[in-house]
Structure 1
Amino acid sequence: MPARRPKPSICAKGLLTASVCAAVFSVSAAQAADRRHALDLPARPLTQSLIALAARSGISVGGVDPALCAATPRAVKGHLSAQQALQKLLSGSQCRVERVDAVTYRLVRDTQPLAVVARPAAPPAPRAVAPPSDDDIPLIIVRHPTRLFDTPAGVSVVAPPMLSGNDTDLSSLAPHVAGMTVTNLGPGRDKIFLRGVSDSVLTGRTQSMVGLYLDDTPITYNAPDPDLLLVDMARLEVLKGPQGNLYGQGALSGVVRLVTNKPLLDHFEGEAGVALGTASEGKPSWRTTGMINLPLPGEAAVRAVLWDEKSAGFIKDVALTRNASNDTERSGGRLSVKWQATPGLSFDSTVTMQDLRSSNSQYVMGRTGSYRRALSLAEPHDNIFQNLAMGVTHESASGTWRVSLNRLRHKIHTGYDAQPVGRYVSVANSGVFFFEEDQIIRLSSLEASYVSPSDRPVRWLAGVFAARSEESFTPLLIDVYTRRTLYDEDRSDRIDDAAAFAKITWDLTPKWTLSAGLRAQRSRHRTLSDIARVRLVDYATSGRITGVINANPVTHELMLSYQPSASLMLYALSSDGFRTGGFNTTTAQKSIVPGTYKGDRLSSLETGLKYRAPDGRLRVDAALFHIEWRDIQSDQLRPTGLPVTLNIGDGRNTGLEIEGGWRPIDDLTLQLRAQFSDPNLHKTNPIYAKVREEGMPYISRRMASLSAQWRTPLFTLPLENTAVLSYRDGSPLNYGISRIIRMKGYVNLDLGSTADLGAYTLALRVTNATGNKSNSFAYGNPFALDTASQNTPLRPRTYWLSVNRRF
């Protein structure tokens, strides 16, 4: 086995630097809130002006819909505080502004706006002001500024405090989004699923089902989730259903967008944090984080974020005589720069890096115990992620232009104990085998788009997109003791995509809206694979495979919405998505597996409603959807454990998705998220006669979560408490090429409490509070899938205590 390079510590000095700089440059939150900003905002509708003001000053504005304020478009110029600018924008309107805290304001309807605007804002009563609603957050995942209630589609938002945690990543946020699931193979190995559709729990040659974006840039192609630690994040946006029109390939079942906090031009910020964790199994864990935001001369700012952590393992590998064998170390950082060249022209750039290394996998085999197993070899995983994103934005009264460039490098190394493959080795051997695969993805993308003003009865957006993905894939199977190579492949793929897209929205009447969109794309997939030193039964000893696949898909979106009142919206939506085909290279000489697999297409019909009670205490989002999926691409395994991709057949899913929130009193908020669906194969590819027409891998027919947030005093200390109870029904693990493997359902409970002590925040969080040892994902080792039962237990009960200091 090749030696693994030592892990560099990239964060310790950076965290110390951030802490020292924060101490030197710190200012109070109140001073920051009253800071004057050099503003030059053109006269635009109130919604656009508020978004522009928030971007310039770092404030957040919630409350009533700005459209209800009947505000006259006004220009705002001069050196003004955020509150002064808000008062100018609302002058003569039917709304006034109230300050909630140092950087949060809310709009309130008032029957005497002129008199109220002149009043100074009174300091808020801590228990009388409701927390900001997710409906007040401006969304960009639909490629134009809008709000959750105004978006006629299945959209979910996760924002602080739910986004703020001691171990926040996508797997911990999935219970907060109806219909979202993340596999539990291990850090840096997982796949994301939306809307009850899944191609396979394996990560192979197929492109991702869900488009994962960091702000405006795609960060996955056919690799697993890089598992970025979500530090200093503004929110998580999830758009469900196929998004071929807006996002092209890799968005077959939806898009997940990680939105970071942007540099503040006139506002200093700093934060340093330390967290300690301990589990009922394994050694202690720890994490350090740091953030600093520095304004620069010339209307510019830089924001730096660093993190470093060690997550202690909980699987005891008795054969290797190691406790906590699956330790994971993760360190990384993000550096963002913004320059506001003119009031309407801005430049931004972000560099993101993360180095994640797991010393072993986290599944168990046989009946040795919930957290015990006996493997001959460790199964490490390294996931090294680097991304550079740059953009230029020009805003004016006629619309917004945006050009963005992205360059990604993602390196993945995974190893497996491949002892069961001995049945297929054609030469004398020791019986101890190791399989490792290295995957390097280089993705470059360029996009230019235009979005028209949002206040017009006819609105539209258009853009062009180009991307090139260059990937190398080098699987290697060796005999550990003889050092003999049993399979060696050097494969390279290059995929070129070019597309043009457009979408137009027309307000037919004040209550009816129609929109339509198209995307025309050209894709070219080239593959070159050299295979050598093969010593497996029915395999050629060497070979070369080359080929080119071209595709010219066109995708659409068609939507009709009806809003009979300010609190209710009904809509119907049709959309589709696609993935191009590819090549199988790890196939035997005598095999029914074809050398290529076709592209697949997913079409969706959806109807839904959004309701908001006039008093803001109740909200309901519901969607009924039907999905038809043709020529499903599915990553599968040959008996040797080597990966192949098959067009497994046609599938469909009909389901109901519900997200609701209720605030019975000011200090308590309850939220329910649920999905009920019927995913299945209804037409199997006749080549694979053994496949059963059952459910889809890892997709439960019933999933639900219930969360509660409440405020309560502990002596004189105010506490913010959360509880999240989630349930997943049983499901099949695979499509059953050889046999069906099923996993059982389980329940999980997470608890947390946070105390705000002014400059300090103290938090306690308990994950898997009941100590549930259920199998969350029954696949671990591809070579042993048919030889022994495999279970991946939930991480044992873990306590996290964190302290954060704001500057």
Structure 2
Amino acid sequence: MAQEDQEQQGSAHATGGEIVVTALKRGTRLQDTPLAISAVTGDSLERAGTTSFTELTQNTPSLRIVDNGPGNRRVILRGVVGAGEATVGVYYDESPVAGSVGTTSDAAGSTPDFRVFDVERAEVLRGPQGTLYGSGSMGGTVRIIYEKPKTDLLEGAGTLNLSAVKGGSPGASVDAMVNLPIVEDKLALRVVGSYQQFGGYIDNSYYGTKNINDGYSYSGRALLRFTPTDELTIDLGAYYTKVSTDASRWFFETGERHTTNARSESGNYDESRIYSGTLRYDFGPVALTAVSTYFDRDRTVVGDVSDNFNGRDTAAGCVTYLKPAGGVCTPAQLAPYLDLTRTIQFSSLYQPQGVKNWTNEIRLSSTDGGPFNWTFGGYLEDRKSWVRSTLLSANPASGELNPFIPANIYYDRTINDHLKQKALFAELSYKFFDKLTATVGTRWYEYDKTVGGVVDQGQIHYASVPSAYTEAQTTENGFVHKFNLSYEFSRDLMIYAQAAQGFRPGGVNQAIGLPAALSAYTADSLWNYELGVKSQPIQGVYFNLTGYQIDWSNMQVSARTSGAGSVFGLISNVGAARIKGVEAELNASPIDGLSLIANVGYTDAKLTEDQVSQVVVAAGRKGDRLPFVPKWNVSGSAEYGWSLSDSLDASVRLDASYSGSSYSTLAKTDVYRRKVDEYALVNARIGVEAPDGNWSAHLYVNNLFDALAITTKSSSANTGGLTVTHGAPPRTIGLSLAKRFR
């Protein structure tokens, strides 16, 4: 196929603007793609020691990942962040992955993470991709494209990584790949497996335990490629990953780095599976692509909430929460109240949950390479998600939980969430005079969302009582559009202007007793206007510059009802925001052996309207900065390689990144608002390798200067106002060995 041929040209050794990408769902050279897109080859990711998509922040301006540990990550592009469905689409090959909605309908905060090994390239599409990638891509799209089976080559590869984190426990990882041709030029299998032992560094001062986050993960994938004819390619894939670890969170108020005094367990136990099939058929001037993906995820999220109940084990607390007749608790009422409250002062929210998402897409694309290019397609999604939220008492002597003893459960609620979505999309472009290209795109979507819930066991401290199963539904449809003009002065200089729209589905709040008029919330949307320049001013130097403005309306936000009566937490559509920014990328190889990369992103993201209505109150007011969006993100790398002898090469590499300060919530008056300070990280690597790349050995130091790089802070009533903190690990020294077999 033409597309396959173009993808094959995007080899692991391509650099700068010569990388071939498929962001437009057809192969194009990076510098010829009129989008704000960052791309990095698998070879570059390997040389930088990248193992997770979270580390792509070092290669991409305006990409921010709020990292609350494995499986609990929120991906943000260009400052587009909010409660609810994801604002950035994450794809592994052609397969989208989804977060579980949880008890707060916030699927965006739990993006799953598959290990990045044996990768062809990674692409980050900045700005809304609503026409080709649909809902969940209103801020942009992240794509990890794995290496595919080769029908003409028996090969294998393996890496061993050993590390030691300052003040913590040892870490290690093993990755292996084998490519097996089964029928020459017809059938091949590629199998990858990985295991990682996390080096723990979080200490619990309450129980005197060390390195409590030293968990593990293992993952694998099997890809089968069948090419019965030159025109037909069938790819089948199965992907698996499992993570089991105590949380890497710690309390800032302890006054000690990476130290918590939590009285109960916190952790993440995550298992994800992807099964996919992709068919491509080349009819000559037209190519057909059909993709079916089944994503199945089971996870248990555990979070210590002991401090939520501090100070409530008093007679006054009994009156506040038990609300006895006459306003005074009798001895017969006080004794069981105190017993209950003191028991859950050692407790966690224990939340098993899952998501099953079946997506199907079929599209036709032109391939003749003429001035007129087009893509038409259809999309179906059926996602079922559930969560059981329980409050579990812990063993006061150890903080351990036992969810299998019913007497340990002090609250029990279950929520089901069902999203069905369908869409039709089209994108057409025409090149005039071999210079000017005009592109238009549109997507029609329709979704139905049904949410139901039941409270099997209430909790007086949550003002919750048992209730029967209730269900609510909402449906909506609409269009999003895209317009793009690009002008190629030469192969080395292009300018483009774009206006593109993005959206994400609305939903239904599952709050018992919430008035029916407030149960549903609608899709929110935005328009992104940008102007970009892509250039190669001199041989070996690529420089791209983009300026943009985003107008976001009808925002989905976490809010509460107003008035003197019952107050409910919910997601609602209130307020608007404007985001303005500039992005610059430099990729240069000024002399033989030297590679320089620099990325700069400036983002000014603020509300332009108060988040308030007649029935809903939210924290934000006009002028407030959007949370977790620093104004500046800067990153860069320098790598130099040279020959030591005919059989030995050497290299040295330095990576650095800087993130400006941000805030955890909108309002300056919010008692739970926390400032996330600016930080800088520096990583260094030095190593030797064979000239043909068949083996390598590297010594590395991550967080070279042992910076206290706090990536997120948060606080709530569940933490008793304490600040839950996550950040980069302390200084980590390691040895990485790699071998390739052909």
Q: TM-score, normalised by structure 1?
A: 0.80
User: 1: distance between equivalents of 2:411 and 2:556?
Assistant: 25
Pair 1:684-2:610 in alignment: yes
Deviates more, 1:437-446 or 1:745-754: 745-754
Does 2:654 correspond to 1:723? yes
Query: Which residue of 423, 427, 435 corresponds with 1:499?
Result: 423
Aligned to 1:281: 167
Separation of aligned partners in 2, 1:278 and 1:148: 38
Cα separation, partners in 2 of 1:637 and 1:749, compared to 1, 3 Å: farther
| CA displacement at 1:782 relative to structure 2 | 4.7
Q: What corresponds to 2:445 in structure 1? A: 521
Displacement of 1:754 after TM fit?
A: 3.6
Asked if structure 1 preserves the Cα contact closer than 8 Å seen for 2:270 and 2:297, the reply is: yes
Matched, 1:624 2:547: yes
Is residue 597 from structure 1 mapped to residue 526 from structure 2 by the alignment? no
1:771 maps to which of 706, 709, 714: 706
Residue deviations 1:248-305 (CA, integer Å, cap 9, x gap)? 1111101100100000010111012211011112110011111000101261000000
Specify the code of the residue in structure 2 equivalent to 1:236: A
**Whole-angstrom distance in 2 between the partners of 1:692 and 1:763:** 50
When residues 516 and 800 of structure 1 are mapped into structure 2, their CA distance, relative to the original with a 3 A threshold, is: same
1:753 aligns with 2:686: yes
1:367 alignment counterpart: 254
Q: Is the 8 A contact 2:609 2:621 kept in 1?
A: no
Q: Contact between 1:538 and 1:590, CA under 8 Å: does it hold in 2? A: no
Alignment of 1:70-109 (within 5 A): none
Counterpart selection for 1:252 from 135, 138, 149: 138
Q: CA deviation at 1:60?
A: 4.5
Match of 1:738 in 2: 670
Unpaired segments ≥5 residues, structure 1: 1-40, 42-47, 63-103, 105-130, 201-205
Give the equivalent residue in structure 1 for 2:120: 234
- How far did residue 184 of structure 1 move? 2.3
Q: What secondary structure sits across from 1:420 in the alignment?
A: helix
- The residue identity in structure 2 corresponding to 1:178 is P
Instruction: Pick closer, same or farther for the CA change 1:339–1:330 going to 2, 3 Å.
Output: same
Tell me what 1:707 maps to. Answer: 637
Residue identity opposite 2:43 in structure 1: P
SS, match of residue 557 in structure 2: strand
Give distance in 1, aligned partners of 2:569 and 2:700: 39
Which blocks of at least 5 consecutive residues in structure 2 are unaligned?
Answer: 100-106, 313-319, 323-336, 396-405
Count of paired positions: 680
Q: In structure 2, which of residues 374, 377, 381 is the aligned counterpart of residue 467 of structure 1?
A: 381
Quick one: which of 782, 787, 790 aligns to 2:721?
A: 787
1:357 counterpart residue number: 244
Task: Report if aligned partners of 1:485, 1:534 keep a CA contact under 8 Å in 2.
Answer: no
Q: Which residue of 2 aligns with 1:98?
A: none
- Which amino acid in 2 is paired with 1:691? G
Q: What letter is aligned with 2:349?
A: F
Identify if the C-alpha distance between structure 1 residues 475 and 284 changes in structure 2 by more than 3 Å, giving closer, same or farther: same
Distance 1:637 1:532 in 2: 24
Aligned AA (1:272): G
* C-alpha distance in 2 between matches for 1:332 and 1:400: 33
| 2:392 maps to 1:478 | yes
Residue 590 of structure 2 is aligned to residue 664 of structure 1? yes
1:446 alignment partner in structure 2: 360
Matched, 1:634 2:517: no
Contact in 1 for aligned 2:308/2:719 (Cα 8 Å): no
Query: Alignment partner of 1:320: what SS?
Result: coil
Q: Scaled by the length of structure 2, what TM-score is found?
A: 0.87
Letter paired with 1:804: A
* Alpha-carbon distance in 2 for matches of 1:436, 1:647: 29
**8 Å Cα contact 1:195/1:240 also seen in 2:** yes
Do the aligned partners of residues 713 and 748 (structure 1) sit closer, same or farther apart at CA in structure 2, a change above 3 Å counting? same
Identity %: 22
- Residue-by-residue CA offset, 1:541-578 (whole Å, 9 max, x unaligned): 42433111101021111111111222111111011111
Asked if the contact 1:419/1:783 (under 8 Å) is kept, the reply is no
Partner of residue 213, structure 1: 91
Q: Which residue in the other structure is 2:732 paired with?
A: 798
CA distance in 1, matches of 2:124, 2:49: 22
2: CA distance, partners of 1:53 / 1:641: 59
Residue aligned with 1:673, SS: strand
Deviating more after overlay: 306-315 vs 656-665: 656-665
Equivalent residue letter for 2:206: A
Question: What is the CA deviation profile of residues 211-261 of structure 1, one whole-angstrom value per residue up to 9, with x for unaligned ones?
Answer: 000111111252622221111111101111111111111111011001000
1:613 correspondence with 2:552:
no
Contact 1:166 1:275 in 2 (8 A): no
1:760 is displaced (CA, Å) by 2.0
Aligned AA (1:452): S
Q: Alpha carbons of 1:806 and 1:54: their partners in 2 closer, same or farther (altered >3 Å)?
A: farther
Q: Quote the offset at 1:583 in angstroms.
A: 2.1
Task: Indicate the residue corresponding to 2:333 in structure 1.
Answer: none
Structure 2 CA distance for aligned equivalents of residues 554 and 161 of structure 1 = 39
1:751-770: per-residue Cα shift (whole Å, max 9, x none)?
A: 12342135321122221111
User: Helix, strand or coil for the counterpart of 1:778?
Assistant: strand
* 8 Å CA contact retained: 2:59, 2:599: yes
| 3-state secondary structure, aligned to 1:795 | coil
Classify 1:486/1:553 alpha carbon distance in 2 versus 1 (closer, same or farther; 3 Å). farther
Q: Which residue of 2 aligns with 1:154?
A: 36
Counterpart CA distance in 2 for 1:551 and 1:661 is 44
CA RMSD in angstroms comes to: 2.6
Structural mapping, 1:191-590, within 5 Å: 191-200=74-83, 206-221=84-99, 222=107, 224-297=110-183, 299-422=186-309, 423=312, 426=322, 427-428=337-338, 429=340, 430=342, 431-480=345-394, 483=407, 485-536=409-460, 538-586=463-511
Q: What whole-Å deviation, never above 9, does each CA across 1:715-748 have from its counterpart, x for those lacking one?
A: 8842222211111111111124833322111111
